[in-house]
């Protein structure tokens, strides 16, 4: 089987200043084409360490994808290193040069400085991959029977190059096996409990099919993966096991697609031509952000009122001042009033209202950090639930969003 390694280059990855989102995206795209990523490795902008990584990864893999270190500045050493590694000579590539001139003239509308022009230089023994979104060209090297492809680290430049050139070229070069995945999402149940339900199922799985548990903020995704040479038989076989899997977890099943909770809610609303709004306190707009992250949100999402202060709760959502004073902002009464206020001002079919103490400070004796009240509903009915999460602010914001969306999902389904 053809193996791939991804090498990401940059000191910022090793001191944790930047989270590597590139290699996850690359792995996703490669997988769709049946290209297995066996290893991902990050090294700093250090000559010997990059050199060693190239040596080692070419022992493990047939395809070595490299991102980063192609910028115009002195800390970017990937290109001269690759030139030396493959014993090439630097030459100016006319296509890359024209591309740089076009980008500066038409898009940046800025004068070109010398170091930008230098980005048109490439080793003479590589195939140049044009970068339509930036000035650093990609480079395709062959050594023995191994392929090395160097791409810029800027995400949208790398993504364009992967889709336009790298994946089509690899598909021409190799014959890849078929990799099939099926993913479903469960909520409201732990990994261990699910595993106990799954004992017999796991025993019966053939060796070419693997089951993985992916827990994430109150949800567990289950993924079946299968490798085979023929598309149809691989797909048929995995589909049969996937149907069984769905039956086993039916009670906790959110979706049989590899999509997040907010997409499930969005799809329910779109199918019903209905709309949603949110009234958020503790999540500070995060639920609205999740609902609008993907294009097309305007068909089901109208707006939100983020009422962080008492004042905003009263003036925008008509929450009663004396209830805020007596019950506190984190209370069942207040989230009900917030939900009603949002339905009234934003005139949507459904709404979600949340109020809680996200931490790490602000806890009280009867309302410790992690206390959250959630209300979901429509003009007929408002359902409420109290949750007690724990200490981590980011996690509490995520868990509040997940549970609120799941409550609404169940409520919508209960109506149909």
C-beta closer to a copy of itself: residue 361 or 416:
361
Least distance in angstroms from the C-beta of 138 to a copy of itself = 18
Distance CA(120)–CA(64), nearest Å, equals 23
Least distance in angstroms from the C-beta of 327 to a copy of itself = 18
Q: Exposed, middle or buried by CB within 10 Å (0-12, 13-18, 19+), for 221?
A: middle
Least distance in angstroms from the C-beta of 293 to a copy of itself = 7
C-beta closer to a copy of itself: residue 88 or 328:
328
Least distance in angstroms from the C-beta of 229 to a copy of itself = 19
Least distance in angstroms from the C-beta of 396 to a copy of itself = 10
C-beta closer to a copy of itself: residue 119 or 378:
119
Phi first, then psi: give them for residue 60, nearest 5 degrees: -85, -30
Q: What angle do CA 70, 75, 79 make, to 5 degrees?
A: 35
The candidate with the shortest Cα–Cα distance to 222, out of 257, 251, 188, is: 257
349: Cβ contacts below 8 Å, ≥ 6 apart: 269, 272, 274, 275, 276, 378
C-beta closer to a copy of itself: residue 183 or 384:
183
Coil, strand or helix: which one is 187? Answer: strand
C-beta closer to a copy of itself: residue 142 or 392:
392
- Label residues 277-313 b or e (16+ Cβ within 10 Å = b): bbbbbbbeebbbebbbeeeebeebbbebbbbeeeeeb
C-beta closer to a copy of itself: residue 267 or 345:
345
Residue 333 CA from chain centroid, whole number = 35
Q: Are 134 and 154 in contact (CB under 8 A)?
A: yes
The candidate with the shortest Cα–Cα distance to 57, out of 38, 36, 44, is: 38
Least distance in angstroms from the C-beta of 304 to a copy of itself = 4
C-beta closer to a copy of itself: residue 149 or 291:
291
C-beta closer to a copy of itself: residue 88 or 176:
176
Q: Are 393 and 359 in contact (CB under 8 A)?
A: yes
- Label residues 116-140 b or e (16+ Cβ within 10 Å = b): bbebbbbbebbebbbbebbbbbbbb
Least distance in angstroms from the C-beta of 113 to a copy of itself = 5
C-beta closer to a copy of itself: residue 26 or 372:
26
Q: Are 61 and 3 in contact (CB under 8 A)?
A: yes
DSSP 316-350: HH---HHHHHHH-SSSHHHHHHHHHHHHHHH--SE
Least distance in angstroms from the C-beta of 268 to a copy of itself = 18
Least distance in angstroms from the C-beta of 140 to a copy of itself = 22
Distance CA(387)–CA(37), nearest Å, equals 39
Least distance in angstroms from the C-beta of 152 to a copy of itself = 11
C-beta closer to a copy of itself: residue 237 or 280:
280
37: Cβ contacts below 8 Å, ≥ 6 apart: 4, 5, 6, 26, 27, 30, 31
């Amino acid at each position: 089987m053809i193996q791939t390694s991804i090498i990401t280059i940059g000191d910022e990855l090793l001191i944790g200043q930047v989270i590597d989102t590139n290699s996850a995206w690359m792995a996703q795209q490669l997988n769709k084409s049946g290209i297995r990523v066996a290893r991902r490795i990050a090294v700093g902008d250090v000559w010997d360490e990059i050199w060693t990584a190239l040596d080692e990864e070419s022992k493990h893999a047939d395809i070595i994808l490299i991102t980063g270190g192609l910028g115009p500045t002195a800390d970017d050493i990937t290109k001269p290193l690759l030139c030396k590694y493959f014993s090439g000579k630097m030459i100016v590539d006319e296509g890359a040069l024209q591309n740089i001139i076009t980008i500066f003239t038409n898009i940046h509308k800025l004068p070109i400085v010398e170091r930008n022009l230098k980005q048109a230089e490439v080793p003479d023994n590589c195939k140049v991959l044009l970068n339509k979104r930036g000035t650093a060209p990609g480079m395709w090297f062959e050594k023995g029977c191994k392929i090395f492809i160097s791409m810029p680290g800027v995400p949208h430049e790398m993504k364009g190059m992967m889709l336009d050139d790298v994946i089509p070229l690899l598909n021409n070069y190799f014959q890849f096996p078929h990799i099939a995945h099926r993913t479903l999402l469960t909520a409201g149940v732990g990994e261990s409990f699910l595993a106990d339900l799954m004992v017999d199922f796991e025993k019966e799985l053939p060796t070419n099919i693997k089951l993985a548990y992916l827990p994430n903020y109150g949800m567990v995704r289950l993924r079946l993966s299968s490798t085979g040479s023929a598309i149809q038989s691989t797909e048929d076989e995995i589909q049969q096991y996937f149907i069984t899997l769905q039956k086993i977890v039916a009670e906790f099943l959110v979706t049989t697609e590899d999509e997040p909770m907010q997409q499930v809610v969005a799809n329910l609303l779109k199918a019903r031509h209905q709309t949603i709004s949110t009234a958020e306190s503790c999540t500070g707009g995060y639920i609205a952000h999740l609902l609008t992250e993907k294009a097309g949100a305007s068909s089901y999402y109208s707006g939100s009122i983020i009422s962080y202060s008492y004042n905003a709760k009263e003036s925008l959502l008509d929450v009663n001042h004396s209830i805020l004073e007596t019950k506190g902002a984190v209370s069942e009464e207040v989230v009900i009033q917030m939900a009603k206020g949002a339905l009234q001002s934003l005139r949507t079919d459904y709404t979600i209202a949340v109020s809680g103490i996200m931490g790490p400070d602000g806890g009280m004796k009867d309302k410790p950090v992690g206390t959250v009240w959630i209300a979901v509903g429509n003009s007929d009915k408002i359902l409420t639930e109290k949750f007690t999460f724990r200490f981590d602010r980011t996690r509490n914001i995520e868990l509040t969003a997940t549970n609120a969306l799941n409550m609404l999902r169940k409520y919508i389904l209960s109506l149909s």
